[in-house]
Every structure is written in C-alpha cells, then in structure tokens.
C-alpha cells in the first residue's frame, strides 16, 4: 500500500503541479490533505502561482481525503463539492492506527497531552509548515511540511507512506530536488511500534 500525505497548499497551483510532476498520482492507494487548502492566511505571503479557483479544478480531478484546517471555510467545501470535512479523522494503514488533524487544535508543546488518551500509533498533522518526525511516548508524530510555504528552514515537501510486509515506511520528498531528504521505518511488535534502523 502506498499513500500520499500533503498539507498547507494555501492556494498554490505550483505546489500541486510540482507534486503531479514528481509522482504518478494514480499509484497511490489514497491521498490525504491535512488542511489549509486554498486561503493563504493573514500571516502568510501569497504563495507562488496563487490561484485557489484553478487549484480547486485540479484537486477535483482526484479522489482526496481532506481534513479541515483553520484556513478552510464553508465555501471551500462547496468549491470542492464536498458535503463536510472532518477536523479529526482516524485511518488504518494495514494494522497501523493513524490519527489525522490539521494541528491548530493543540500547541506544539501540548502534543504529548493531546496524545495521552489516544490509542494510536501515529499522529499526522500540518499547520506549522515545518516537516518533522518526532517520537513521543511510543507514538510517532509526523508533519509533511508545506509544498507551498515551508517554514523553519525545511524544504517544500510532501510525505509518502509505504506499507509492505508489516513495515511502515515514511519518506519526505523535497519538491525542488525531487529527492527523499528524511525517512524512517517502523514495525509493530505486540501492538507497539518499533523503529527499524
């Protein structure tokens, strides 16, 4: 199984064009967008090739699972022809339980508390525009970064998940170089994650 995880496109057609050039999108079993799809937000500059209308037309050509971000409005759902978009979603990638949210519902230093009562292996979130892999009390937190407005000295990026032979592999792709710049693997042992070195 192979999955694409993106977040924070913020209306950039260039971001989607670069993703589409780098990958054959039909090769993914599912595509997940962790929110902030169209609006650039009051604290951000306009991203390159900012055109929410054109981005909507491109996104509608694909079956994408959306999480609602803090910059996503009701009109965005109408443009995408979606009846509703959840703020939090639980997904299963094989035996791996993944909680997905945009990330504005907690502060970065509160993730441990947010996860304390969640029976999951992974938390995927966006919002900060900073790509990361972080292990917290036996759970793994990942942020794919942003393909349009990266922050924290991280590249424009997306996350690819591959599940094979009970192994969960995460690869972060730099959209400018087309190369993997960060990666990790895990397996499940007695329902607990174990990192593969």
What domains, with CATH codes, occur in the chain?
2-196 (3.60.21.10)
Model pLDDT, residue 42 = 87
Model pLDDT, residue 54 = 97
Give the other-Cβ count within 10 Å of 21's Cβ.
Answer: 9
Rg value, the chain, Cα = 16
Report d(CA 84, CA 179) in Å as an integer.
35
If DSSP states are collapsed to H, E and C, what string results for 118-149? CCCCEEEECCCCCCEEEEECCEEEEECCCCCC
Assigned token pair, 52: 């929410």
**pLDDT, block means (10 residues), the chain with 197 residues:** 98 98 97 96 90 97 97 95 96 95 92 94 97 96 98 97 94 98 95 89
């Amino acid at each position: 199984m192979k999955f694409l995880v993106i977040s924070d496109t913020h209306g950039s057609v260039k971001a989607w064009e670069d993703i589409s050039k780098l990958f054959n999108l039909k090769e993914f079993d599912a595509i997940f967008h962790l929110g902030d799809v169209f609006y650039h937000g009051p604290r951000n500059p306009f991203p390159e090739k900012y055109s929410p209308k054109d981005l909507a037309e491109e996104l509608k050509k694909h079956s994408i699972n959306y999480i609602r971000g803090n910059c996503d409005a009701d009109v965005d759902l109408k443009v995408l022809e979606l009846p509703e978009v959840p703020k939090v979603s639980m997904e299963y990638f094989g035996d791996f339980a993944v909680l997905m949210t945009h990330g504005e519902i907690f502060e970065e230093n509160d993730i441990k508390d947010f996860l304390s009562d969640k029976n999951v292996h992974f938390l995927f979130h966006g919002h900060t525009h900073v790509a990361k892999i972080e292990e917290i009390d036996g759970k793994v937190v990942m942020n794919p970064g942003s393909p349009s407005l990266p922050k924290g000295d991280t590249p424009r990026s997306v996350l690819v998940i591959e599940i094979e032979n009970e192994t969960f592999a995460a690869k972060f792709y730099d959209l400018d170089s087309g190369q993997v710049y960060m990666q990790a693997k895990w397996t499940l042992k007695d329902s607990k994650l174990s990192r593969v070195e």
